[in-house]
Amino acid sequence: MVRRQKHARAAIVGLGNVLLMDDGVGVHAIRMLSGQAPEGIVLAEVGTALLDALELFESVDVVVAIDAVAAGGSPGSIYCFDVNDAQVPKHVSLHELGIAAALRLLPAKSRPRVLILGIEPAVVDYGTQLSPAVGAVLGQVTRTACAMADQLMHRAADGATPQDFSSYDRQLELNRETT
């Protein structure tokens, strides 16, 4: 479900399968953000329907995609990296389509800058609830996603192209917020 705002130049999208517990963390994050996104930022529950999101991707300058990322860290670890830095298989079927491969379906000049905000899953098994480790960082993830999208959107409004944005540290594990 896409919640459009007038003149949106940035989007925060939630990726993953909500029927596989922590794999659905991106969709859970978008649901938590509902009605709280900064002005000009589109929120979209993409889930596993990346092809359906291509029109949205083409209409914005920057995308912050929230997804489960199994990078070998502690459950609940948060990572940030540019989708262009991700290792993407050369041959992929449409049933295995990831965000980097989906973006390659767009003309190069229409591709937004895409940053992945990844959360290390604890449990990927049948179920609709997040594990305690992933649920505990959901608030930090949503705040970080909003800050990233807002900052990058303002750079785009100042005339920067997606390729001009200075990069966030790639594969940076963010410190967990202590309560």
Q: What is the mean pLDDT of the chain?
A: 81
CATH class of 2-164: alpha beta
For tokens 């997606």, the residue is 162
Region 150-175: mean pLDDT is 56
Query: Which amino acid is it at 115?
Result: L
Kindly report the pTM of this predicted structure.
Answer: 0.81
State the Cα–Cα distance between residues 15 and 43, nearest whole angstrom.
12
Backbone angles phi, psi at 97, to 5 degrees: -65, 120
Predicted confidence (pLDDT) at residue 36 exceeds the cutoff of 90: no
The DSSP symbol for 97 reads -
Between 28 and 163, residue with greater pLDDT = 28
Tens of pLDDT along 68-116? 999 899 999 999 988 877 664 444 444 456 888 788 888 888 889 899 9
Per residue in 25-59, is it b (16+ CB within 10 Å) or e — as a string? bbbbbbbebeeebeebbbbbbbbbebeebeebbee
Residue 81 CB coordination number (10 Å): 20
State the Cα–Cα distance between residues 125 and 142, nearest whole angstrom.
23
Query: Which amino acid is it at 92?
Result: V
Predicted confidence (pLDDT) at residue 157 exceeds the cutoff of 70: no
